[in-house]
Every structure is written in C-alpha cells, then in structure tokens.
Amino acid sequence: MSTPSASLLRALAAFGLSLVLLAACKPEPEELAGAASEPAAAVRQLATHLQRNDLVAFARDAVPADLHARLDAAWRQGHSRWPLTELPLDDKLVPMLAALAAKDSEKTLQRSFDRQFGRQDRDLKEAARTLGLFGVQYVKNEGDYTQEERDHYAQVIAALGEWAQQAPLGDTALAQTTLSRLAPAARRSGLITDQSLSEAGMVTSLQRLTPFFIETKATFARYGLPLDKTFNDLRTGLIEQKGDTATVRIHYPLAEREIDTVVSLTRRGGQWYLTDYLRHAEDLLKALPAPPPPVAPPTTEPPPVSPQGDIDPAS
C-alpha cells in the first residue's frame, strides 16, 4: 500500500510531465522554416499561455468555442475534467491537493518523506532509471496513443528519466521547502474534492489552480528542471499544409535533451487546433451518459359536451 508521501511524489512527477505534454511541443534557438505560418503560431500560443501561467487562456484556445462550452457544462455535471485529463495520473490530482491541504500536512508529509526517501539518493536514482525505461517502452507499445504521441512522449519520458537520475530527490531541505510552498497553495485553491471542482466550474477551477501551478513550476526549477525555459524556447515550423489539415514540427529543450517531434493540426472556424486535443475532447464528450428524454407535459381532456352543445354539468 503506497504512503501519502510516495503517492505525492509520483503525482508531482506526473504533473511535471503533464506540463510539458500540454505545451504540445516546439523547436530550437533559431526560427524553423514556416515559423510564421498560422498552424505553427497556434502551437506556440499554447506554450506561451503556460509560460504566463494562464490556464484559462490555454483551455480557451486549445479547442473551438462550442466544444469549450460543452466541456464546461460536462465539468459542472461532474462528467469531465478536461483539460486536466491531458495530465498523466489526472485522477490523482484531487487526492494530492487534499493531502497537501490537510491540517499540518507540512509536518506529516515531511516526516513521511524523511522516513522513506530522505538521503536515499541511490535508490531514487535507480527507481528513476527503471521507471524511465519502463515508461518509454509503454508509450511505444501500449496504451491508446497516436503514432505522433508515441514518438513525442517517448522522448519526453527519456529526458525526464535522465533528469530524475541527477535531481536531488532525496534532499530533505528541498523537500521541506517544497511542502512549505505547495501546501498553502493547495489550501488556497479550495479544490480538494470532485464536488468542489464541479461547483466551481471549469474556468473558475483553472483560475483557482493557477497559484498551485506556479508553485509546481517553481518546485521543478529548484530541482533543476526549469519548465519556463522549455516553454520560452519552444520553436515551431510548418512542414505541410493541405486544406484544413497541417503538420508542424516542434522543438524544445527539456532537461539535458532537445525534443524534436511533429504534431498534426486541424482548422475549424478559421482557427487551428491540435488534432490530438480535439480527439481527446470529443472522445470524452461522446462517452458522456445520454441525457434523459424530455418529460411530456400532462394532458387534460376537455369536459364532455351534451348533444345540445352544452357542457355536461355532471362533468
């Protein structure tokens, strides 16, 4: 049975991966060919929103307005948590927030960390290496991923695995700093149950999660993974455009690696969107329970009429 500290560490690591995946990808120091194209600019815009900590704008620009409205309605009904479902282990986010927001969590989680991970650098590095190798093989061969996603995610996981092997994950002082920053941010969000997320709605929930998002990025920077540099240095270039579809190359730094991959985009209503984001959102909405059939209004029969045309007084 995993302890709160172990679950928290895994969830935070997954959250870091998700931030990179949500950026959707991008290219090198110099501009790529086709960087000025609309499809390439659409991908860069999403990364810019993440760099600026604007989760609301990210969700707004990731899908068309009509799809956004349906996702918001599904969120309020408890049927959707998009765009959080773009994160690995998205179902662990609320438990993680609840654990951090608990009374005296800084002390209890620190004690748990010290007992399990404190100064266990060798074991943690080996675990990171093993998980990295397993993760790469998994996304290459298992799961419901497109080929583009498999190629991209395999590079990301390999880079994060190498980073984790060098990061001071067993540093108790850094862990204390991390808990002292993340716990208050989790409490301020007030989002520690699925019901609280539904009641807040998608936009308000993303607004209230923003301080936690900022602190999470700062945490990874302290551990040697500056995600804002990833978002800032991300580059894009158009490979091909045919009608309402396009292929964009993306290149960005992640830890000690340079990630280079391609993504597909689809144009709707004159705007470009990542095809995988559209697919994920639409698949989610298709899986929603069908709404109940409308209830027919009660019918009232007119009173009987006598042969003389008068209303029967007995009625």
Q: Give me the helices (H) in the chain, please.
A: 4-22, 38-51, 55-62, 65-76, 93-101, 105-116, 121-141, 147-166, 172-189, 194-222, 227-233, 275-286
With b for 16 or more beta-carbon neighbours within 10 A and e for fewer, the 74-107 pattern comes to bbbeebbbbbbebbbbbebbbbbbbbbbbeebbe
Q: Tell me, what's the pLDDT at 215?
A: 96
Cis peptide before 83 (omega within 30 of 0): yes
| Neighbour count for residue 116 (Cβ, 10 Å) | 16
CA distance 193 to 191: 6
Q: Are 235 and 124 in contact (CB under 8 A)?
A: no
Q: Tell me, what's the pLDDT at 302?
A: 64
Q: Tell me, what's the pLDDT at 6?
A: 53
Burial status of residue 307 (CB atoms within 10 A of its CB: 0-12, 13-18, 19 or more):
exposed
> Which amino acid would we find at residue 297?
P
CA distance 124 to 104: 26
- Helix, strand, or coil (residue 257): strand
Q: Tell me, what's the pLDDT at 26?
A: 42
In this structure, what DSSP letter does residue 289 have?
P
pTM of the model: 0.81
Q: What is the pLDDT along the chain (315 residues), one digit of tens a residue?
A: 445 555 555 555 555 555 555 554 444 457 898 999 999 999 999 999 999 999 999 999 999 999 999 999 999 999 999 999 888 767 889 999 999 999 999 999 999 999 988 878 888 888 888 888 888 898 888 888 889 889 999 999 999 999 999 999 999 999 999 999 999 999 999 999 999 999 999 999 999 999 999 999 999 999 999 999 999 999 999 999 999 999 999 999 999 999 999 999 999 999 999 999 999 999 999 988 876 677 667 666 666 666 665 555 555
Burial status of residue 222 (CB atoms within 10 A of its CB: 0-12, 13-18, 19 or more):
middle
CA distance 155 to 303: 77
CA distance 40 to 21: 16
